[in-house]
Structures are given as structure tokens and as C-alpha cells.
Amino acid sequence: MTAAQPQTSHRHSHRRRLSARRFVHHALGGEGHEDALVRAINWFLIAMIVLNVVAVVLESIEELSIAHGPAFHAFDLFSVAVFSVEYLLRLWTAVELPDRRYHHPVLGRLRWMISPMAIIDLLAVLPFYLGMFVEMDLRAIRVLRVLRVFKLGRYSMAMGVMAAVVRQESRAIGAVLFVMLVVLVFTSSLMYLFEHRAQPHVFKDIPTAMWWSVVTLTTLGYGDMVPATPLGRVLGGITAVLGVGMIALPAGVLASGFSEQMRVRRQEYREAVERALEDGSISRSERRQLDDVRLSLGLSDEDAAAILERAARRPHACPHCGEAIDQDAPP
């Protein structure tokens, strides 16, 4: 009995650690639920991120920086402490993620550390710690704190959808960028050929002429480099017209990709709803599962409610006899 007691105590201690880790993972929103605790923590972290960006902007004003420097410094210390604890807790609970790649206690956490959001979390506090060991300009450290705004990507459904669109349309976006690069090199080379003799100090080489091509293709036209020869002006007009198309191409690719991504996500949610309605009704546990699916897909409450309402009106097959169930028939 005495030999068994330490083993039992060890098992209980191990279970307590697992339950604590699972609780922290849930509290940080890792399971996709949105109960009161998760919402409170999310809103606290969002408020901290927004206040940090506002603090960086206000601290750049010399009068405010001099008058309220200690307050800004104290808030930065508090923010670094909060974000550091958040990073360490996410690292500790990374093995609770559903993806099997993160389940290994060492390799899983290392894989999590090189994930995009983990790198953003690290960059949010890294400038502060680097300033303690490396000689850095204080202004650079302050500006780098703006990187904390990217932490909002974890709480923004729109940014998640756009990231999925970029991954989905990566080949099309790459093709558009390649075409833009070709046009940039071609027009800057021609402009150098036409304008170098007339304006040797303005268009002194092709890399310098590339700046003119960039501001012309993007239709900005700063006016710091203006062609003077007839051929240069003709090329400038053609480049400006091409620039309209160059801007429209990636915008069209992203717009169509966004529309397709939302269609796919609505279809996935519709299929989940139809699976839940196979028995003719949706239980409380199935509603929670559907809510988790909605959150993971980034759909709004309005979209989900409309899909659920349309699906509920359709007749569904009985799981026993296979015939359609009439939703409007009296019981």
C-alpha cells in the first residue's frame, strides 16, 4: 500500500497539470469556444494591443513624451509583462492544439514557435528585451512596438479570411507580380534610354529610373522625375495607362479570391448544418459544435443564421426509413 501511494499521488498530480494546461488553453481561445472567460481575456488583450499602438503614436509627440515619459514607460513595462506571460502560456499549451504536429512535448512546441502568429507574438516583446542587451536607438525600439498591432490578426476574422485568400490565390498573385516586375524593368530601361542624355542627373541609371516607373505605374506621380524629351513623354503616358491596369489586376484577383473563399466557407457550414439535421432536429451539443464550426470558418452570426434557417426549411431524410421528413407536418 505504501509503495502504491506515491504512484497514485504522482498520477493525480499529472492529471492536475493536464487539466490546468487544458483550462489555460481553453481560456486563451484555443478550443474555439466563446464563453464569458474567453471573451473577457480576448477583449483585455485586444484593448492592450490598441492602447499600445495609441501609446506609441502619442509618445512620438515630443511634448507628451517629456511631460508623461514615466507613465509611458510604466505602461510599456506592464504591456511587456502581459504579452510575455501570454507568449509563455501559449507555448506551454501548444501541445493541446488539435493538430497532431504539435502534440510532441518538445518538437510540437518548436513547430509552434515558428508558426506565423507565434512569431508575431515574439516580435511584440522582442524589441524590449533586445534593448536590454544590445545598444539600440530608443526611437527604433518605440517604433518597433507598433508590431504589436499584428497580434490583432488572432482576433480578426477578416484578417484570417484575407490570409486564406492570399494562400489560395498565391499563384495568381505571383503571376501578377511577375508581370508588374517585367513592366517595371522594361519601362525604366526605355526611360533611361530616352532621358539620360537630356537629364543625366535625373535619370542617371536604370535603378534610379525604376523609382520613376514605380510612382508612375502606381499612378502617384510625385513629380520629382519628369520626362523632358518627346519620346520620354510618350512613354510616360503609356506607362501611366499601364499603371491603371497593373493596379486593377491584383485588386481583381483578391476580390474574386475573397468571394470564392466566402462561398467555400458558407458551403462547409451548410454541410455541417445538414449533417446535424440528419435526424430532423439539432440538439444542444450539435448547436455548440455548429457554433465552433462557425467560429473556425470566420462566418458572422447573420450568415450562419441565414444558412441554418434555409436548411431547416428543407425536408430531410429519416435515418430509419430513408424517406423525406416534412418539417411542416403535424406531429
For residue 11, the model assigns a pLDDT of 53
Residue 329, pLDDT score: 45
Task: From 133, 155, 177, give the residue that closes a domain.
Answer: 155
CA–CA dist 98, 180 (Å, integer): 40
Same domain as 85, residue 33: yes
C-alpha of 260 from chain center: 18
CATH code, domain with 201: 1.10.287.70
Question: Do 198 and 322 belong to one domain?
Answer: yes
How far, rounded to the nearest angstrom, does the alpha carbon of residue 247 sit from its chain's CA centroid? 23
Tens-level pLDDT at each residue, the chain (331 residues)? 454 555 555 555 555 656 888 899 888 887 666 778 888 998 999 999 999 989 988 988 889 988 998 999 899 999 999 999 999 999 999 998 888 888 888 999 999 999 988 998 998 888 888 877 777 666 666 777 777 888 887 777 777 777 788 888 888 888 888 999 999 999 999 999 999 999 999 999 999 999 999 999 988 888 888 999 999 999 999 999 988 888 888 888 888 888 888 888 889 889 888 888 887 778 888 887 888 788 777 777 788 888 888 887 765 545 455 454 444 444 4
CATH number assigned to the domain comprising residue 109: 1.20.120.350
Residues 132, 176, single domain; the answer is no
- Per the DSSP assignment, residues forming a β-bridge with 317 are 324
Do 175 and 307 belong together in one domain? yes
Question: Do 139 and 232 belong to one domain?
Answer: no
Residue-level pLDDT at 322: 47
- My answer on whether 247 and 102 are in the same domain is no
Kindly state whether residues 106 and 205 are assigned to the same domain.
no
Same domain, 209 and 100: no
* Of the residues 90, 124, 155, the one at which a domain ends: 155
Q: Are residues 27 and 134 in the same domain?
A: yes
Distance CA 26, CA 262 (A): 27
Domain end position, chosen among 102, 132, 155 = 155
Is 240 in the same domain as 312? Answer: yes
Q: Are residues 233 and 313 located together in one domain of the fold? A: yes
Query: How many domains is the chain built from?
Result: 2
Please give the residue range of the domain that contains residue 200: 156-331
For 21-56, the DSSP string reads: HHHHHHHTTTT----HHHHHHHHHHHHHHHHHHHHH
Task: Tell whether 205 and 78 lie within a shared domain.
Answer: no
SS (H, E, C) 83-108: HHHHHHHHHHHHHHCCCHHHCCCCHH
The burial of 94, by beta-carbon neighbours within 10 Å (0-12 exposed, 13-18 middle, 19 or more buried), is given as: buried
